[in-house]
Amino acid sequence: MNITLALLFFVESCKGICNGGIHDMEVPSFWKGRVEDVKEGVDAVSKGKVEVIAKSPGGRKIYLVSYGERDDFESQANYNSACGARNPVYYAHKTGKTKPVIFFLGPVHGQETEGIAGLVNLIHIAETGKDLRGKAWEDLAENISKCRVLIMPCGNPDGRARCPLDSFVGESRDTMAHYGQGSSKDGTDYGWPGTKRLHPMKGDVDFLGAYFNDDGINMMHDEFFNPMAEETKAIMRIAQMEAPDYIPVLHSHGNAPAVLQAAYVPRYIKEKIREFSHQLADRYESVGLPKHKLRPPEEDGANFPPPAFNLTSAVHHVCGGMSFTFECPHGLKESVYAQVNHDQILDIQLILYDELLKFALAHPVVWEH
């Protein structure tokens, strides 16, 4: 760790970490991105159903909040076997009259607080029609009532509790990378993608980054045929049981908000992801927010090294849904990155949810005999 980051960490540590972050007076009251904020949000649920679907290695609860009754899909096989039978209807009979199922998969990287804050606000909208700023989202609230909506606000409470900052708005890329990806015993920050070269992240570790749970597992790159993390097992179990049609996997980066392709999924899914990416980018542009549109899909593995088969890929293969990674800007201070504040970041998150539910209702999945 360099001297500047060491001093920063010491000063922040002295302020006192409250289970999920330092109480930074610059973070607005609607920014609910701490572990205890998630608990407070789910404790207030009355219209939905709250379940604890797993516990992290650190003993922290993984919550799932659901809205809308679950349809009976008359499942008689897992998705893989149904595809082998040449019809996914044997896994889930989706008639077009069954409700769309959307699984909002909250951040599995603990420093990426933007998705946590967005999903806690989404729960508040589902309960009251308004976000925590008091802004009404009438279409979003109405569309929640037309769907089965599953919300996992935080996929890695261990990593979130380890990160002492509640937000990276106005912070440097180096600060974000240190707390997110950690450092080795010689003080060198692992950075991206170097933080993925040691997994589980054990041994040569000075500061364990928030990418990881307390066992050093990065859920994005778990061993999906034999998961190491209980968090991963719970995510895959929910995807298999619920047969979601759409699964946004929430992440954050420095650049403009972006929908990213899933690797190793069928071409028609990639085309559908691109269509949604363009719809979302058009909405961002209409309200003056930064945007990014996907290029046409490319063949996976056309060049070496091949892309990773990660959590986004794996979720598709247990349910057949349109899984994609969504990257939200942090609001980093360097001018090369998207310059956004907390209000804009929350709008970026909530517009994503709003547009995805509209897209789901306009594109019902039909799997018939």
Query: Would you say the pTM of this structure is higher than 0.75?
Result: yes
Name the amino acid, one letter, at 41. Answer: G
Is 60 exceeded by the pLDDT of residue 11?
no
Q: Tokens 């010689």 correspond to what residue?
A: 186
pLDDT of the residue at 87: 97
Span 307-325, pLDDT tens digits: 999 999 999 999 999 999 9
Is 50 exceeded by the pLDDT of residue 136?
yes
Residue 14 belongs to a domain: no
Span 225-251, pLDDT tens digits: 999 999 999 999 999 999 999 999 999
Residue 6 belongs to a domain: no
How many structural domains compose the chain? Answer: 1
What separation in angstroms does the CA of 108 have from each of 90, 212, 265?
31, 8, 21
Residue 25 belongs to a domain: no
Is 90 exceeded by the pLDDT of residue 55?
yes
How does 336-356 read in b/e, with b if 16+ C-beta sit within 10 Å? Answer: ebbebebebbbbbbbbbbbbb
Q: Tokens 């028609």 correspond to what residue?
A: 268
Query: What's the mean per-residue pLDDT of the chain?
Result: 93
Specify which residues 322 forms β-bridges with: 246
15 compared with 26, residue with greater pLDDT: 26
Give the β-pairing of 366-367 and 258-260: unpaired
Of the chain, the percentage scoring pLDDT greater than 70 comes to 93
Across 353-359, average pLDDT:
98
- Three-state DSSP at 156 gives coil
Residues in the chain: 369
Residue 360 belongs to a domain: yes
Distance of CA 129 to the CA centre of its chain: 22
pLDDT range class, residue 189, cuts 50, 70, 90: very high
Q: Are 294 and 357 in contact (CB under 8 A)?
A: no
Q: What's the DSSP call for residue 136?
A: B
Residue 17 belongs to a domain: no
Q: What's the DSSP call for residue 91?
A: T
Residue 259 belongs to a domain: yes
Residue 233 belongs to a domain: yes
pLDDT of the residue at 232: 98
Whose CA is closest to 41, among 116, 149, 109, 110?
Answer: 116
Q: Based on DSSP, count helices (H) and strands (E) in the chain, helices before strands.
A: 11, 9
d(CA 119, CA 97): 27
Q: Tokens 């993984």 correspond to what residue?
A: 62
Is 90 exceeded by the pLDDT of residue 39?
yes
8 compared with 15, residue with greater pLDDT: 8
Domain ranges, residue 192:
32-367
Residue 200 belongs to a domain: yes
Q: Are 231 and 156 in contact (CB under 8 A)?
A: yes
The CATH number that applies at residue 210 is: 3.40.630.10
- Three-state DSSP at 231 gives helix
